[in-house]
Chain A
Amino acid sequence: QKEVEQNSGPLSVPEGAIASLNCTYSDRGSQSFFWYRQYSGKSPELIMFIYSNGDKEDGRFTAQLNKASQYVSLLIRDSQPSDSATYLCAVSFTGTASKLTFGTGTRLQVTL
């Protein structure tokens, strides 16, 4: 069974700190990896995606991918209270075309 695992949290970080969110996946052949943010009662919003090993930066967000370790992470620099949300990791597994498998999400709380 193809799985995506995340720590449910909550992960609490002070305002201005770096938040580090982690995700592991079971299928070594996975090709595309996505991070979504979901506020309570709202639908997910795409933050960024990554498909090559290494880092990808977009503003305050950095996605890191290590295919050998089957690990993808999201770093949020200068965390703001508005970043408080649930962050969903999603993986496109080999042979599933455009279908994504989502983790259960990590709840992030940025405190003042």
Chain B
Amino acid sequence: GAVVSQHPSRVICKSGTSVKIECRSLDFQATTMFWYRQFPKQSLMLMATSNEGSKATYEQGVEKDKFLINHASLTLSTLTVTSAHPEDSSFYICSATSGTSYNEQFFGPGTRLTVL
């Protein structure tokens, strides 16, 4: 149980284009989904917290107009990187929690974004 999928696993795009990443909880309803970014040899950095049907809460320093998050249902959240630039190249990982008492987060496999 507790499987989270992400699509695509890898994407290469030109500078200035937008990229959409999907995160799905496959066998449970995710009350909350999280989006992280991880640069090489660094730890996970939380970008935003997303609850179904409400606006995402962004961490300090994360531009909400650049990283658009839509949490349309209890099993799907999307992250759109708008007007991507080379410095946005990173490993983007989503996670989901079903709202149990201990708030375990289950991670998707990640999306490696390369902006040329």
Contacts and interface: CB of A to CB of B under 8 A. Distances in A.
A88 B44 contact: yes
A97 interface: yes
Given A43-B107, A90-B105, 12 more contacts: A34-B104, A36-B107, A42-B110, A43-B93, A44-B93, A44-B107, A46-B104, A46-B105, A92-B103, A98-B105, A99-B49, A100-B103
Contacts, number: 51
Interface residues of B, number: 20
Nearest to B49: A99
B86 interface: no
B107 A104 contact: no
The 3 closest A-B pairs by CB, nearest first: A98-B103, A43-B110, A104-B43
Contacts of B78: none
A51 to B, nearest CB: 6
Q: How large is the interface on A (under 10, 10 to 19, 20 to 34, 35 or more residues)?
A: 20 to 34
B34 A104 contact: no
Contacts of A36: 107
Contacts of A105: 43
A45 B95 CA distance: 10
B97 interface: yes
B104 A88 contact: no
B41 to A, nearest CB: 9
Contacts of A42: 109-110
B102 A46 contact: no
B105 A88 contact: no
